């Protein structure tokens, strides 16, 4: 369905329209009295969230590829049905296939509180079954208001139990990595990098990022706050349906190996992600569902 057909069926006057975005990929432009947002149907990926009168809370790499079969770098990628490299076959797509497929628009709503809601769907096909042999139906719900709410729900529509991992891999725009402090993680245990045991514990009230970080905090359900004094703002990151929080920044050395981020691009973002993985997989019997959500706002 092209953007003209999408507008015929799902556009909301003065709130929601569909256009052809970069790389001829369809995107939804949401504008209401609270905020503006951009959602790519390719990957069901929120690319931008700008509260009224503010800077964008999300970061999108200027070097990002907008090509079918390639991941978009930035915003909120949807990782599903696995997080990170595939455990049994490293040739399969990192972070699963959901972010590499175009999702269908299933509903759009203008809510009474002035918010706008967009719902996207993805179901198993011969293509997905070749990569992951389980039937599923997934929905991404994006609600744009003073806060941005993003919820991923998926259901086991097959006859076999499956186990999935997933994430809402949020990239946050910041003034400079040296300026920010991240709170809400005190006393939590975490995996550092690719260690096999979560033997590290954060004792500090706030995390300052001064090197590459790939921390996977376990049994963590609390809010995180990214404080950015240079931009005079703090971003609150809430979540539900997740007991793992990942904090990631590639810093100056690893970023050199990444074609879709500039050599200095690591300074401009930090990832704070709601995750189901490691000690928190979703095991679903036939007919069962799981939801994970993140809510992003200015404090």
Each residue's pLDDT tens digit, 214-243: 999 999 999 999 999 999 999 999 999 999
pLDDT of 183 reads 98
Residues with pLDDT less than 70, the chain: none
Q: List the domain range (segments joined by +) for residue 160.
A: 3-298
Alpha carbons 74 and 271: distance in angstroms, whole number: 9
3-state secondary structure of 262: coil
Contact of 122 with 254, CB cutoff 8 Å: no
pLDDT of 193 reads 82
Report how many domains make up the chain.
Answer: 1
Alpha carbons 29 and 18: distance in angstroms, whole number: 6
Neighbours of 11 (CB within 10 A): 17
* CATH assignment of the domain containing 55: 2.70.98.10
pLDDT in tens, 111-135: 999 999 999 999 999 999 999 999 9
Alpha carbons 124 and 134: distance in angstroms, whole number: 8
Alpha carbons 193 and 232: distance in angstroms, whole number: 31
User: Which among 144, 73, 139, 147 is positioned nearest to 107, based on CA atoms?
Assistant: 139
pLDDT of 196 reads 83
Backbone angles phi, psi at 251, to 5 degrees: 60, -165
Per the structure block, which two tokens stand in for 79? 């990782």
């Amino acid at each position: 369905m092209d953007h003209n057909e999408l507008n015929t069926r799902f556009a909301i006057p003065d709130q929601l329209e569909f256009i052809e975005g970069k790389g001829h990929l369809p995107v939804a432009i949401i504008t209401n009295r609270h905020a503006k947002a951009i959602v790519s149907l390719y990957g069901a990926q929120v690319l931008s969230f700008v509260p009224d009168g503010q800077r964008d809370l999300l970061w999108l790499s200027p070097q990002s590829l907008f090509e079918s079969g390639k991941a978009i770098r930035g915003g909120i990628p949807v990782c599903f049905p696995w997080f990170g490299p595939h455990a049994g076959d490293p040739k399969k797509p990192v972070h699963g296939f959901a972010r590499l497929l175009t999702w269908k628009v299933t509903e759009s709503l203008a809510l009474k509180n002035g918010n706008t809601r967009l719902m996207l769907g993805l179901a198993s096909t011969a293509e997905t079954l070749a990569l992951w042999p389980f039937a599923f139906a997934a929905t991404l719900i994006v609600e744009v208001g003073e806060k941005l709410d993003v919820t991923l729900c998926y259901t086991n529509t097959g006859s076999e139990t499956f186990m999935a991992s997933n994430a809402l891999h949020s990239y946050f725009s910041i003034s400079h990595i040296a300026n920010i402090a991240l709170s809400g993680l005190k006393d939590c245990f975490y995996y550092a990098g690719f260690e096999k045991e979560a033997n590290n514990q954060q004792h500090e009230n706030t995390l300052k990022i001064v090197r590459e970080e790939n921390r996977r905090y376990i049994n963590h359900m609390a809010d995180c706050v990214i404080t950015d004094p240079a931009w005079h703002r703090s971003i609150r990151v809430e979540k539900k349906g997740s007991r793992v929080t990942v904090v990631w920044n590639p810093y100056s050395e690893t970023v050199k190996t990444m074609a879709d981020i500039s050599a200095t691009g690591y300074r401009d973002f930090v990832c704070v992600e709601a995750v189901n993985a490691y000690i928190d997989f979703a095991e679903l019997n036939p007919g069962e569902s799981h939801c994970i959500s993140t809510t992003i706002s200015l404090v």
